[in-house]
Chain A
Amino acid sequence: MGPGVKASIMITCLGDLFFPEVGEAMVTVLRRLGVTVDFPAGQTCCGLPLFNSGYHDEAARVAERTVRLFGEAEHVVVPSGSCAWMVKTEYPGLLKHDRILKAAADSLAARTRELSQFIVEVLGVTRVESDFAGKVTYHDSCHLLRGLGESRSPRTLLRNIPGVDLVELPGSDECCGFGGSFSVRLPEVSTAILDKKLGNVEATGAGCLVACDAGCLMQMGGGLSRRASRVRPLHLAQLLAGGRR
């Protein structure tokens, strides 16, 4: 449980540059749950964009950096399913050429979790006190859902916020069309996929769209903003933190 647990934040490149408020919300929530939070300096990126485009040597160098940076962390908490997946699933393979680095990668993989998984599995908490209220719908990001097999923790946490009315999103398990560089290599296809997703989102009548991945939020948020939708895209951490809008 809370007191005594120390967690290091892996902020992710998109989180650091574009969604610092999500990082702040994460800190707020974790502290509320009694976690001592720290932030190893010098973070950049987990290397997923390099890996997915086939630049594996470069990705391995970034992986090595990250593994060293978080060497002392007891728990590593990530506000992004795709980055958590990268660290847990791909780092060991990228670093297998060096026995010591591979061992360090295995260790980091075991200590790293996406935020909702950390709260539910490590802290054993399923109900976070938050004053957030409204009708909300949840998008399953691909790496969290299929890569890490996680679809329950976020929904449990959402349902247990007293003011939240969680409405299931039809096709919640369908991709939002981000796919990293895919979104700019094939922008028309990416947008067509996005339009289908946003059609489903708006049909739910929810005022808020929640996800656990910065890439998905950038893509879906970018589309919602472009069509001046009243649906607000928010990260799970922001609902859990609550506070005035």
Chain B
Amino acid sequence: MSEDLLRVPFPQRAGAALKDAFLQEALTIATTKFIDLRREAFEGFPQGDALRDRARGIKEATLQRLDHYLGLLADNVERLGGHVHWAATGEEAREIVLRLCRDRGVRMAVKSKSMATEEIDLNEALEHAGVTPIETDLGEYIIQLAHEKPSHIIAPAIHKTKGQVAELFSRELSGRFAADPEVLTAVARKELRQKFLQADLGITGANFAVAETGTLVLVTNEGNGRMVTSLPRLHVAVMGMEKVIPTMTDLVVFLSILAKSATGQKLSSYTTLVRGPRQPGELEGPEHFHLILLDSGRVRQIGGPLREALYCLRCGACLNVCPVYRQIGGHAYGHTYPGPIGILLTAMLKGTDSVKDLAHASSLCGACKDVCPVRIDIPRMLVELREQVAHEHVAPVAERMLFRAAGRLMASPALFRLGARAGRLFQRPFTRGGKLRSLPLFFGRWTATRDLPPVAPRTFSERWDELDGPKR
């Protein structure tokens, strides 16, 4: 993610997002729409709950024999004439891609949507090496032209108006285009069609990889996944190692709930199963296929507290229901993956330090856990992250002292009573009309926008003797 952006503290980034009127409207419309679509899809699908349980079970069972399935996947891909690379870090993965480009004389690469390649900043590395990467997913294409980052896992350009897109296309593609999605889509189709046909290399991610057959699975709506894996002579896929699943039977379980969770569709327009490079006798398809399996912080979580986050299908459902994401959008999070799962993934990929603010960017309402197709208990892991932040002394000293003091207060009824009396004393100058409307220091954060009830003249404990009097 942009280093400049991260220099601005998270609360300020969030504040800026709150003041962006268009973003607010776009977020409300988009997230509400996705929520409604998802709800409709599952309402007409009573098997949904059982399938979600099964999906979670498959992910867990896969983790329990992960070495076996990764080995099996690699064997099968190689048997089909593909090549498998093992990248411990994002940097290694980039190196592998760049080396392939050098060896094969690649000058232009077309990419279908891949969060993994975003994660490792592949485009920047390609550009520096003199290879032109072209994003072909319409949303990704838009933000690439705009030199921005995606703001949502599924709909990357949700923060842009059609007017802004028209302006962008007109400027970058030298033309004058109307602010009409149909027109703009046609422009992108024409422009990118040329790129697909001319590109030397197609780069994809993978939604799944079936170990038993050596199959890569791409779930798309636009058709760019198919183009990218059929037209250029070289295909490279970058895949988080946790995306491997055992069998085709397992695959259809995930397919039955993935698109429904993401967009409310029964299936996306295209689900593409790719088994290696083109077969002999096949007219079209790449000559060479390379699969790069990416660790980059994932392997460490197999035995770690964020293990469940490895189940993630990258559907975006948790973003759509998160009260925080719905207010601030994806950019404010400051990292590749936003929203509830994004906080966990950021911690996984960049360490606890990177989430010392983000771990608290949640009211722990649990809506994310409710909609997750693989039932990841995100709130629980956020609390554990907060524990790490507190214990690893990532949290500010003042905060840790405050909570330790609060802990002592709560462990002692005498201190608690004292606290109540102190509160009553200190609040007197600030009480107006029976409410606290403006408090100093830290408490001002509440009273800036909300009233606070004062500590009662007599607490419930202090009143109890009277209440206890007339017994039944």
Contact = CB atoms under 8 A, between A and B. Distances in A.
Interface of A: 11, 13, 15-20, 23-24, 27, 31, 34, 36, 38-39, 41-45, 47, 49-59, 61-62, 65, 142-143, 146-147, 173-175, 177-194, 218-219, 221-223, 225-226
Interface extent on B, as a size class? 35 or more
Tell which of B327, B385, B404 has the most Cβ of chain A within 10 Å: B327
Contacts of A188: 11, 14-15, 18, 449
A186 B460 contact: no
A222 B454 CA distance: 11
A36 B471 CA distance: 8
A192 B462 CA distance: 36
Decide if the interface of chain B is mainly helix, strand, loop or mixed: helix
Contacts of A59: 407
23 contacts: A13-B410, A16-B461, A19-B456, A20-B459, A38-B468, A39-B464, A43-B461, A45-B410, A52-B383, A52-B386, A55-B387, A55-B403, A58-B406, A62-B411, A173-B367, A175-B323, A179-B363, A180-B363, A182-B360, A191-B448, A191-B449, A219-B450, A223-B449
A182 to B, nearest CB: 5
A123 B127 CA distance: 70
Q: Which 3 A-B pairs have the closest CB atoms?
A: A179-B363, A58-B407, A54-B386
B365 A146 contact: yes
Contacts of A53: 360, 386, 390, 403
B386 A20 contact: no
Given A27-B467, A189-B327, A218-B452, A175 B411 contact: no
B154 interface: no
B406 to A, nearest CB: 7
A50 B406 contact: yes
B338 to A, nearest CB: 14
B435 A146 contact: no
Contacts, number: 192
A195 to B, nearest CB: 9
Interface string B268-307: 0000000000000000000000000000000000000000
Interface string B381-420: 0011111111100010000000110110111110010001
Contacts of A34: 472
Given A20-B462, A61-B411, A188-B449, 9 more contacts: A16-B460, A18-B454, A44-B409, A174-B367, A187-B445, A188-B15, A221-B453, A225-B435, A226-B450
B412 A44 contact: yes
Contacts of B435: 225
A146 to B, nearest CB: 4
A40 to B, nearest CB: 10
B455 interface: yes
Contacts of A186: 11, 14, 324, 360-361
A36 B472 contact: yes
A226 to B, nearest CB: 5
Chain A CB within 10 Å, residue with most, of B18, B403, B404: B403
B365 A50 contact: no
A124 to B, nearest CB: 19
A174 B323 contact: yes
Interface of B: 11, 14-15, 18, 323-324, 327-328, 359-367, 369-370, 383-391, 395, 403-404, 406-407, 409-413, 416, 420, 423, 435, 437, 442-443, 445-446, 448-456, 458-464, 467-468, 471-472
Among the interface residues B370, B406, B412, B435, which one has the most CB atoms of the partner chain A within 10 A?
B406
Interface of A is mostly: helix
Contacts of A187: 445-446, 448-449
Given A62-B410, A188-B15, A226-B449, A23 B460 contact: yes
A146 B14 CA distance: 26
A184 B443 CA distance: 8
B199 to A, nearest CB: 42
A130 to B, nearest CB: 19
Contacts of A225: 435, 450-451
A191 B15 CA distance: 11
Contact of A19 (B328, B363, B453): B453
Given A47-B410, A175-B367, A183-B446, A17 B423 contact: yes
B324 A189 contact: yes
A9 to B, nearest CB: 8
A193 B459 contact: no
Nearest to B423: A17
Contacts of B411: 44, 58, 61-62, 65
A18 B404 contact: no
Nearest to A46: B410
Of B389, B454, B456, B471, most buried by chain A (CB within 10 Å of CB) is B456
Nearest to A61: B411
Q: Which one of A17, A42, A47 has the greatest number of beta carbons of chain B within 10 Å?
A: A17
Given A43-B461, A55-B390, A225-B451, A177 B366 contact: no
A54 B389 CA distance: 8
A98 B102 CA distance: 61
A54 B383 contact: yes
Contacts of A173: 367
Contacts of A190: 363
Contacts of B437: 226
Contacts of B458: 20
A233 to B, nearest CB: 10
Contacts of A61: 407, 411
Contact of B369 (A13, A146, A174): A146
Contact of B452 (A16, A27, A178, A222): A222
